[in-house]
Structure 1
Amino acid sequence: MAALVAGCGLPRGGPTKREIFAGSVQNEGDAFVLAVNDRVTRATAVQPALGFSDAFRSAGVLGSDTIRPGDTLGLTIWENVDDGLLSSEGTNFTTLEEVQVDGSGFIFVPYAGRIRAAGNTPEAVRRIVTERLAEQTPDPQVAVRRLAGDGASVSISGVAGGPGVYPIERPTRTLSAMLAAAGGVAVAPEVAQVTVVRGDRRETVWYQDLFEDPRFDIALRDGDRILIEEDSRAFTVLGATGAQAQVPFERQTLSAVEALARVGGLQTAAADPTGVFVFRNEPEAIARQVLARDDLIGAQRMIYVLDLTQPNGMFLARDFLIRDSDTLYVTEAPFTQWSRVISAFTGTLGTVSQVDSAASAISGDE
C-alpha cells in the first residue's frame, strides 16, 4: 500500500494542515501561522475607512437659489384668456425653454421686457415677470425654474438612477437630496459607495452612511463631481466547502462564519473543522500588533487558523472579519485522504484480480 501511495499522486482539493504548517516562519518558511483568539480578532478588525473629512463636512449650504450670470432659466407662463399675448392658438400657456442669463445678469421675456435676474432668486424673478405681464394680460401665472448650465450645478455618473448634470437648487443643496433627485442608486444600497470629487480632493462614503450619520450628508458646491460605484471587494474560497469561488462582499463587514455560509458551509463528508485557514497579506502596522513585534518591515504573509471544534471556536469565527482579497481555505479531514488511499488500493487489487481471471480463462481455452 505504501508503495502504491508513493508511486501515484492521489487527487485532493489542496494542501493538508501539515503542509501548511510546514511553510510557517517557525519552520523556516515565509508565512506566519497564527491561531485566532480574542486578541487577534480585535487587532485585525480593520475595514476600509470611508467618510468625508472636516473640510467637506464643515462647508456651509450654498445659496443655490441666487441666480448668477451664465445660469439658464426655464419659464412657463399661463394666461387667463384663450387668446393671450404669448400662448398659441388653442392653448392658454407658453413655455420659454433655456432662457440664458447674459453676462450683465439680465434676461429678456416677451412683453415683460429686459429683467435683471442675477442676484435674484427664481421666486423674485417670477414676481417681477408676473407684475410686468399683469399690465397687459389679466391674472397671469408664472413659473420660473433654474436649469443646469453655467450656474451652480453638479454632475452625477456611475451606477446612479439618472446620471447627468443637475442644478443646485433649494431642494437639492445636500448630497442625499441631490442623489434622490437623480433617481438614487442602481445597485443594492448595502454595496453602494459615493465619491465626491471637489477640485483636487476625492473622498468616498458608504451610501447607507448618508442616512445613518447626518454629518456625511454634506452641502454641495458648484462643479462637484459625484460618482456612484459598487463595492468591488471580494474574497476567494477554496477547499472542502460547498463551493470554490471568488465571492463579492454584499455588506460593509463580513465575518468568517458568514463567508462560509455564503458558499454553503463546510462539506460534511470531507471538511476538517479544525483546519479553517485565512490567507492574507497583512499591513505592517497590523502585523506588528498581532505578532507583538516591532522588527517587521512591510506587509507580512499571515495565515490565520480557526478551529471550529473549540468551545469558543464558533464565536471566534463570528468575530473574525474577512477583508478584501482574503483566501479562505478549508482542509480535508484525515479520514478523507485515508478513504482515497483505501479506494485506490482496493481498486488496484480489483484490477489485478480481473487481469488474473482473464488470464486463467485464456489458459483454459487453450
Structure 2
Amino acid sequence: MAGPASLDVKNENTTVLPFAVVKLNPEVVQVLEKYEPNGLPGILADTRPPSSIKFGIGDIISVTIFEASAGGLYVPLEAGVRPGNYVNLPDQAVDNDGNITVPYAGRIRAAGRTNVQVQEDILQQIKKRAIDPQVVVTSSQQRSSLVSVFGEVRTPVRFPMPLAGAQDRITDAITRAGGISGAGWETWVVLERNGKRATVPFGNLVYFPSSNIFVQPGDRIYLYREPMKFIAFGATGQQGEFNFDAWRINLTQAVAKARGLLDLQADPASVFLYRREPREVAQRLGVDCSKFDGDSVPIVFNVNFQDPAGYFIATKLSMRPFDVLYAANAPQVDITKVLNFINTTLVTAESGVTLVNNIRFPGPTSSTTTITTIGP
C-alpha cells in the first residue's frame, strides 16, 4: 500500500486537514505518560464513597417501637411477661408521596431521608405520649437504591445498596455479578450515573486504583467485549488491523506485531504514529494550536529507529486503540522504482524489435520471406 513520502509528513505538506508533527523524545514521552486518557474520575466528578443510603418510593420499611415499661402507648400491661417491651409495626412501602404511616405519629416523610432521620421524626411525634420510647427503622426490601451489572459478566445482577453504605467499588460490583466472562484486555466498562456516561477499558480499573471509584445508588454498569486494535501500513512486513491481545502494548511491540520493517524498503528514521491528542496535551508538546478547531488536535509522532535510542523511547510510548502506524519508504526506493520501470520499458522495446526480425511470411518465390528492418 503506497502512502505519503516521509518528507511530505515531516514538512506537514497538506491543505485538506492540518496536523502537527512531533518528534518522539524522552520529554514528549513524559508528557504523554502524565496525561493518560481520562478514566472514570476525569469524566464523573463525584468519586466519593456513598453516604448513608436514603429511602425511596417503593422501599419496604420496618418500624419497631420500644417503651421503657408495659402499659404505655404501644405495649399493653399484659405484655410484661415478654422479653422486651416493644412492638413491630407491619411492614409498609413508601407511597408515591414519599410517606409512611405510623400509629399515633401520623404520616412520616421517608423518601429522601436516612433511617436515622426517620427514626428521629417518629420519636419526636410520640415521645410525649409513649413511655420513654425508642424507635428502630430498617429496610425490609429496597426497590429504589439499586445497582445493576449486566453485559459480559457471568451472572447479571441487580443488588440493593446497604443502608449503612457498603462502599463497594466498581470491581466489587462486577464481582457480585460473577466477574467478567471474557479476557480482561478486550473488555470495556460503561458506567451510567445521573444522566452521564463514561467508558473505560477494564484494565483501567485494575491498574489505576483511582479509576476504581465507589458505586452509587442507581448506577448501571454495562460490560461489553471489543478487542483493542491498531492499524499498520506502509513499509511494514504485514499491513492491516492488529489486536493488542494485552491490556497494553508499546510502540515497539506494535511494530513487531506488524512483522517489523521491510529491510529493502522501509526508512527506519521515518516511522510515524497518527493519533489525536487533547488540546492541553498538544500545547504541552509545543504545538501551535491556533490553526486547529475542536477539543483534540491531530498529531503525527515521528520515531527514528535508525537511532539506537529510538528503540528505548518507543518502548515507553503506549499504544492506544485506533492508533495508526505508518512506515515510510526510504527515498532510494522511489528511485529504484523509476529505474526498474525504465529498464522494463527498454527490455520490452528490445524484445519487440527482436520479434519482428524473426517473423517469416510465405512468399511467391520461396517457402518463406524474411522481413528486414531498415534503419540505423
- For the aligned pair, the TM-score class normalised by the smaller chain equals 0.5 to 0.7
- Deviation of 1:212 after TM superposition, in Å, equals 5.1
Aligned CA distance change for structure 1 residues 212 and 184 (closer, same or farther; 3 Å) = same
Partner of 2:328: 331
Aligned CA distance change for structure 1 residues 214 and 14 (closer, same or farther; 3 Å) = closer
CA distance in 2 between counterparts of 1:338 and 1:248 reads: 35
Q: Secondary structure at the match of 1:319?
A: coil
Whether 1:56 and 2:47 are equivalent positions in the alignment is yes
TM-score, normalised via structure 2 length: 0.61
- Deviation of 1:59 after TM superposition, in Å, equals 1.6
Q: Secondary structure at the match of 1:312?
A: helix
Between the two proteins, the alignment pairs up a number of residues equal to 286
- Deviation of 1:261 after TM superposition, in Å, equals 1.8
Whether 1:261 and 2:260 are equivalent positions in the alignment is no
Partner of 1:194: 189
CA contact (8 A) 1:256 1:321 kept: yes
Gaps in structure 2 of 5+ consecutive residues: 63-90, 96-113, 116-138, 362-367, 370-376
Whether 1:16 and 2:5 are equivalent positions in the alignment is yes
Partner of 2:93: 103
Equivalent residue for 1:38, pick from 26, 38, 50:
26
Partner of 2:315: 318
Q: How does 1:58-73 map to 2 (within 5 A)?
A: 58-60=49-51, 68-69=59-60
Q: Secondary structure at the match of 1:161?
A: coil
Whether 1:350 and 2:347 are equivalent positions in the alignment is yes
Aligned CA distance change for structure 1 residues 161 and 195 (closer, same or farther; 3 Å) = same
Gaps in structure 1 of 5+ consecutive residues: 1-11, 72-100, 106-118, 121-145
CA contact (8 A) 2:227 2:245 kept: no
Equivalent residue for 1:245, pick from 240, 261, 269:
240
Aligned CA distance change for structure 1 residues 214 and 62 (closer, same or farther; 3 Å) = farther
Whether 1:360 and 2:350 are equivalent positions in the alignment is no
CA distance in 1 between counterparts of 2:2 and 2:320 reads: 23
Partner of 1:285: 280
Partner of 1:75: none
Amino acid at match of 2:48: R
- Deviation of 1:359 after TM superposition, in Å, equals 0.7
Amino acid at match of 2:263: T
CA contact (8 A) 1:61 1:173 kept: no
> RMSD of aligned C-alpha atoms?
4.2
CA distance in 1 between counterparts of 2:211 and 2:16 reads: 48
Whether 1:165 and 2:158 are equivalent positions in the alignment is yes
CA distance in 1 between counterparts of 2:208 and 2:284 reads: 30
- Deviation of 1:37 after TM superposition, in Å, equals 1.9
Q: Secondary structure at the match of 1:331?
A: strand
Deviations 1:35-58 (A, max 9, x none): 222222223343322134573332
CA distance in 2 between counterparts of 1:18 and 1:318 reads: 25
Q: Secondary structure at the match of 1:275?
A: strand
Deviations 1:128-182 (A, max 9, x none): xxxxxxxxxxxxxxxxxx9997364322222222234344579x87243332231
Aligned CA distance change for structure 1 residues 203 and 56 (closer, same or farther; 3 Å) = farther
If you compute each CA radius of gyration, which structure gives the higher value, 1 or 2?
A: 2
CA distance in 2 between counterparts of 1:54 and 1:317 reads: 33
Aligned CA distance change for structure 1 residues 332 and 232 (closer, same or farther; 3 Å) = same
- Deviation of 1:231 after TM superposition, in Å, equals 5.7
Partner of 1:276: 271
Aligned CA distance change for structure 1 residues 42 and 213 (closer, same or farther; 3 Å) = closer
TM-score, normalised via structure 1 length: 0.62
Q: Secondary structure at the match of 2:267?
A: strand
Aligned CA distance change for structure 1 residues 221 and 314 (closer, same or farther; 3 Å) = closer
- Deviation of 1:334 after TM superposition, in Å, equals 3.4
Amino acid at match of 1:163: P
- Deviation of 1:290 after TM superposition, in Å, equals 1.8
Q: How does 1:171-182 map to 2 (within 5 A)?
A: 174=168, 175-182=170-177
